[in-house]
Chain A
Amino acid sequence: MTNRHRSGRNSGLGALVVTAAGLAGAALFYQAQTRNRVASRPPDSAPGRTARQLRFGRKAVVGRTVTIDRPRSDIYAYWRNFENLPTFMENVREISVDGDLTHWTITGPLGRDIHVETRIVTDDAPTQIAWQSTENSDIETQGKVHFHDAPGGRGTQVEAIIAYKPPMGELGRWVAKVFQAEPHLQGRRELKRLKMLLEAGEIATSANRKS
């Protein structure tokens, strides 16, 4: 109770101090905003998806770059064989290729599968591969993976970008769970698994037993 009395007695002074600090803060903020003001900002060198304001229509975009110490052509070839994708993409259970169409079976929540059919729109060996979903898909998505030579002989910078538009309704909520819950986590985890596989020859696990 002593504390309450004391704080009650001092509350007038306390409020005054808080108000003064708030005013000083606001003044500093205003100064910072008005000094050194820049009228317009030309685009910088960073990937668009790292922009502070991210708007690409209704699509959500996730992406990530990793450096893998292997030649560009090796990594391109591994990725281009789409049937390899489930080795490092956690939620992609199965890939089947039929001409230039690829069928993805993605594990969804509650044991329900999500099916996506994609068509290759760019195949520029060994620099980039881009794909887009067809109308026979549960979600509308497009993706692109770029392979650049890393400077200093460090291998290849692999940049993957996925844009997707979740549909409405119940399925949309499930898809959102799969993709939106931790989209950045998912993206970086998959590229890191690819890196482990191609550099170390295996994907690290701390499991002590097979099952």
Chain B
Amino acid sequence: MRALTWHGRHDVRVDTVPDPEIINPRDAILEVTSTAICGSDLHLYDGVIPGMMSGDILGHEFMGRVVDVGPKSTLKVGQRVVVPFTISCGACFFCQKQLYSACDNSNPVEKQDVTENLYGHAVSALFGYSHLTGGYPGGQAEYVRVPFSDIGPIVIPDGFDDDEVLFLSDILPTGWMAAENAGIEDGDTVAVWGCGPVGLFAIQAAKLMGAARVIAIDEFPARLDLARQMGADVIDFKQTHVLDALMDMSGGMGPDAVIDAVGMESHGFAPDTVMDNVKQRVGMGADSAHALREAIMAVRKGGRISIPGVYGGFLDKFPLGALMEKGVQVKSGQTHVQRYLDELLRRIGDGEIDTTFLISHRLPLEDAARGYENFRYNQNEWTKVILKPGTMSN
């Protein structure tokens, strides 16, 4: 089959690789019909995530048609499904508590040692996202093996286009959980750092959850425009002092809740170098740590901080004093995707959530490398890229 494979920093290629097979009883094989490039794929593209191996297949936002099932899969050949980026067994303590992204049993045992040492506990598995999270081949391919297919995938009824439901795999539930983690109450003012796909969905979710005002912060005019379309007020941090503006716009109180939808974007992630990197880069404009620090400084006393942005290492100059003295709550984590699928599919069907407004480009899988390059370096225009295996390059 054809698949987008990683070969090093800024080197991704569409190669011919062996087709996947059913290995475990609960597996299914999908023929991928749509797959997206995620902002977090750019960490891999930039080579800042450790535990990547040459030839790894990327992609954790994908959907497709079931073409083969193991004896314990509950899926049927021919069904159309969207697959969560988190791989979860459904049986362990964490899955039973619906903390799916903390699953104990999805990350292969021999891959767990690194994060057990790094974080104190091994993390669960993700598709196509380094060998720290399992080394599972991803979905930017013609076919993909889906483990625990009786727990993860959601069957899509007729009447939905791929583009409408594809983002159930990651960014829509991630934006939704970001807003939920912000504990939004009626009348809240909510500030969102980052108008990438997750930030844009967090804005929609915050509005639906009762926020009176959402203030979105970014530097790219096209992305700020999308935030405006979703009903947010916007701050361009290249022309405005963010802290001053947020204080004034919230009547001198500070936002009730703040969401860091930026994460490590422009930073090194490698655990042994992160500390030094951050030290060296402090004060260099809008780096990711800067966004989180700013969010902590901005939030009102007794307010709430939600961190959907991806962090992996250590952070220097962390304003712990502000956190404690203001009595701030913090929630974070990879998304418990399976928890939100039914509700979000219903909301898409009811027209409450717009899932297609952010799609800027649709490319054949064969053009994936061009997609990565532009998503990385033309962030203003390239807001979300969908890859279509099986379509022709033009």
Residues of A within 8 A of B (CB): 67, 69, 154-155, 185, 188-189, 192-193, 195-196, 199-210
Contacts and interface: CB of A to CB of B under 8 A. Distances in A.
A204 B93 contact: no
A208 B109 contact: no
A185 B112 CA distance: 10
Given A69-B92, A209-B21, A204 B106 contact: yes
B26 A204 contact: no
Given A154-B93, A204-B106, A206-B108, 17 more contacts: A189-B113, A192-B112, A193-B109, A195-B105, A199-B89, A199-B92, A199-B105, A200-B91, A201-B25, A203-B24, A203-B109, A204-B134, A205-B24, A208-B20, A208-B145, A209-B18, A209-B23
A206 B105 contact: no
A196 B113 CA distance: 16
B135 interface: yes
B107 interface: yes
Contacts of B20: 208-209
Interface of B: 18, 20-21, 23-26, 72, 89-93, 96, 104-113, 116, 125, 134-137, 145, 147-148
Contacts of A188: 116
Nearest to A152: B93
Contacts of A189: 109-110, 112-113
A67 B94 CA distance: 12
21 contacts: A69-B92, A154-B93, A189-B112, A192-B104, A192-B112, A199-B91, A200-B89, A201-B26, A201-B91, A203-B109, A204-B105, A204-B108, A204-B125, A206-B125, A206-B135, A206-B137, A208-B18, A208-B21, A208-B137, A209-B21, A209-B23
B21 A210 contact: yes
B contact face: mostly helix, strand, loop, or mixed: loop
Chain A, interface SS category = loop
Contacts of B18: 208-209
Given A192-B112, A206-B135, A200 B93 contact: no
| Most A C-beta atoms less than 10 A away, residue of B18, B23, B125 | B23
Contacts of A185: 113
B72 A67 contact: no
Nearest to B70: A202
A206 B111 contact: yes
Contacts of B24: 202-205
B130 to A, nearest CB: 11
A199 B103 CA distance: 11
Contact of A207 (B23, B105, B112): B23
Contacts of B92: 69, 195, 199-200
Contacts of A199: 89, 91-92, 104-105
B109 A69 contact: no
The 6 A-B pairs of least Cβ separation, nearest first, read A200-B89, A202-B24, A206-B136, A208-B20, A206-B135, A200-B105
A203 B108 CA distance: 7
